Amino acid sequence: MDRLDNTIRPYAWGSTTAIPQLLGVEPTGEPQAEMWMGAHPGAPSRTDRGTLVDVIAADPERELGAAAVAKFGPTLPFLLKILAAGSPLSLQVHPNLDQAREGYADEERRGIPVDAPHRNYKDANHKPELICALTEFDGLCGFRDPNEAAELLDGLGVDSLKPYVDLLHAHPEDAALREVLTAVLTADREEMARTVAEATAACSRLGGAYAPYADLAHHYPGDPGVIAAMLLNHVRLQPGEALYLGAGIPHAYLDGLGVEIMANSDNVLRCGLTPKHVDVPELLRIVRFEPSDPGVLRPEASPDGEEVYETPIDEFRLSRYVLPAGGAAHDLTRATPQILLCTAGTVRAGEHELTPGRSVFVPAGEKAEVSGTGTVFRATVVA
């Protein structure tokens, strides 16, 4: 197995302290948002054999296993991250596989450069994802029941929000949600900025359930995404709890440290809370306008001590082992590629000693035994 040297991405929303604290190093004073583990060409992990992209490309079947290559092609189909949100990320949604292929092919035909700021599809893949909290973790996930959203907006006492309240009481629910989100995102920017300012003052005054939206407005004053966010479920995860975010589900991460895993894609359509490009027509084509429970996941324990976060897709499978002092070693050998990540304590993986934030890549079929005292996350695929 290969010890990984991973890139930390300095996005502006990143915490300045959470990742350094996990790694046991001094903060630099700059935001440290994500640490990437995998073979994404944007920031591939490095090994003693070269980048993980190069290692896999040299012998895909040896590194990934024949079954994974047959199912997903000669690339690692997932990207594992440590994510540290110090301020809210953009409100966003991801396409399904057919939408991603269509959108990517269309933008390629139109000659839009992949790095163009108005480009929506950086690749032809979907991007389902799972976030597992390491600390208390706040997020927004999926639409509220429209009547609940109407009650929340109405409670602000802002006259310019009354038409949205009335629309949310209409039927059917999917049409009501579509109309309101469309109206919010296409409203006159100056008028919407005034509405957001009034709503922000009310959120600050009322507190309680309104407090998260006052914080959003502090970071993104006047942004229509503040009102759009109030259509979504607010979720607070406790350590060990997780959220699965499938295609078309609007979401945003607000604050906290977590382990994130996703299909190996960079396709994002933004709804707000960002200075970046918002393509409203394409966004409305992708969003699933249906109220849903956020569906907080708790791991399901197996007899061998593996705790699995069950999801409906095959590109990734995330689980963890909580290793007690004096406990037996666990054989994690598997016919698919794995990344093992320590998040607490000290764990021995093969010949490597892992402390929090350290990780290894295990080629398909390679013997993998873990022992020690701590927590290790296991990322692999279903093939």
- C-alpha dist (Å) from residue 44 to 7, 36, 102, 268: 8, 7, 26, 20
Q: How many residues does the chain have?
A: 383
CA gap 338, 360 in Å, rounded? 8
Direct distance between the N- and C-terminal alpha carbons of the chain, in angstroms, rounded to an integer: 20
Compute the radius of gyration of the chain from its Cα atoms.
22
Under DSSP, the state recorded for 187 is S
* Residue corresponding to tokens 């024949």: 66
| List 3, 46, 144, 270, catalytic entry | 270
Q: Is the Cβ–Cβ distance between 219 and 182 less than 8 Å?
A: no
Catalogue the long-range contacts made by 351-356 (C-beta closer than 8 Å, 24 or more residues apart): 352/1, 352/3, 355/24, 356/22, 356/23, 356/24
What is 44-75 written as a DSSP string? --EETTEEHHHHHHH-HHHHH-HHHHHHH-SS
Q: Can 270 be counted among the known catalytic residues?
A: yes
CA gap 186, 55 in Å, rounded? 47
Q: Is the Cβ–Cβ distance between 93 and 248 less than 8 Å?
A: yes
Catalytic residues: 270
